A and B are shown apart, each in its own frame.
Chain A
Amino acid sequence: MARIAIVDDSRLMQVLLRRILERAGHEVDVWADVTAMGIADLITAQTPKLIITDYSMPGCNGLTVARMARKVQPELPIIVVMATHDPTIMDALNRQEVSSILHKPILQEELMAAVGAALTRDG
C-alpha cells in the first residue's frame, strides 16, 4: 500500500478517485488548485509514492505537474489521465517518462492496473 497524490480540479473526480484508491488500501492526498511551484513543494513535503494527475486543469496542466515532479523527484511514478488523443501532448508526456497515459473515460480496472504497474516498477 502506498501514499498516492491525486491532482484534479474536479471535486467529483477527487472524491471518486480517493474512494477507489482508499478502498484498495492506499493513503490518498488530494491536491487541488495547484501551481507549478506548489506541486514541487507538495512533493517535497508529502513524499507521495505515485501521482495521478488530470491533464487539463486551469493554471497547471498535467505536463507541468510531470515536469515539476521530475525536477524534485526524478523517479516518481506519474499517471496522467486525459481526454484528448493529441499526439504532441502525448509525446511531451512520454518525454517526461510518465508511467502511464490513461484516456478518459477511464474504468476502475484500468486505473487500478496502471496504479499496480506504476508502484511495482517503483519497487
Chain B
Amino acid sequence: MAIANWSSRYETGIGIIDSQHKGLFDAVNKLADSFKAGTSKAQAKDSLDFLVKYTVEHFQTEERYMRDMGYPRLSSHMAEHAQLIGKAKDLQDRLAEGKPVTLDVTIFLADWLKHHINEADMGYVAFTKEQNRK
C-alpha cells in the first residue's frame, strides 16, 4: 500500500512543480517499499539516495521560482527545505553506518511532504495568483 497518495489537493497549477511533487510522492513510496521484508539494505540505500537527490533538485527549482517571483517568504521556505535535507542526510549517514532505519521514517517523510505542499508551497501559489491579478 502506498503511504503517500497524490491527489488534486496537492496541485499547485505550476506544471514543473506538480510534476516534481508527483515524483517525490513516488520516491517516498519506493523508499517505503524498500523496507518491506525480503529487500536488501542496498535497495533502501539506493531509494534514499535517489529521494535525497531528487528532493535537492526539486528544492532548487522551487527556490528559483520563488526568487524569480519575488516571493517575500522565500527565506523561511528555504529554512524548511534545509531542515528536510539535513534530516534526510542524517538518515543517509545512519544507513551508511549500519544503524537501524525503519519504515517509520518514510511515514514521517510522507507526512512532511503533504503538509509542506499544503502549507508552505500553497503560500507561493497564492502569491503568484495575486501577482497575476495585478
Chains A and B belong together in one complex? yes
Query: What size tier do the contact residues of chain A reach?
Result: 10 to 19
Query: B104, A108: Cβ atoms under 8 Å?
Result: yes
Give the residues from 1 to 31 in chain A that come closer than 8 angstroms, CB to CB, to chain B.
10, 12-13, 16, 19-20
**What 0/1 readout, one digit per residue, does chain B (78-111) give for beta carbons within 8 Å of chain A?**
0110011001001000000000000011011111
Looking at chain B's contact residues, the main secondary structure is helix
Whether A107 contacts B116 by the Cβ 8 Å rule is no
How many A-B contacts if CB must be within 8 Å?
55
Is B104's CB under 8 angstroms from A104's CB? Answer: no
**Residues on the A chain within 8 Å of B87, using CB:** 105, 107
Nearest CB of A to B113, in Å: 8
Residue of A nearest to B108 (CB): A105
Q: Is residue A103 within 8 Å, beta carbon to beta carbon, of the partner chain?
A: yes
The contact of A85 among B76, B104, B107, B118, by CB within 8 Å, is B76
Compute how far the CA of A20 lies from the CA of B107 in the bound complex, rounded to whole angstroms: 12
B41 contacts the other chain (CB 8 A): no
Known: A12-B3, A85-B83. A107 touches B108 (CB 8 A): yes
Point out the residues of chain A lying under 8 angstroms from B119, CB to CB.
56, 83-84
Nearest-neighbour CB distance to chain B for A104, whole angstroms, equals 4
Contacts of A82 in B (CB 8 A): 115
Closest A-chain residue to B88, C-beta based? A105
Q: Does A92 contact B (CB under 8 A)?
A: no
* A87 interface residue per 8 A CB criterion: yes
B14 to chain A, nearest CB (A): 19
Interface residues of A (CB under 8 A from B): 10, 12-13, 16, 19-20, 56, 82-87, 103-108
Contacts beyond the supplied A84-B115, A85-B79: 9 A-B pairs with Cβ under 8 Å: A12-B3, A13-B107, A19-B104, A82-B115, A83-B115, A104-B115, A105-B105, A106-B108, A107-B90
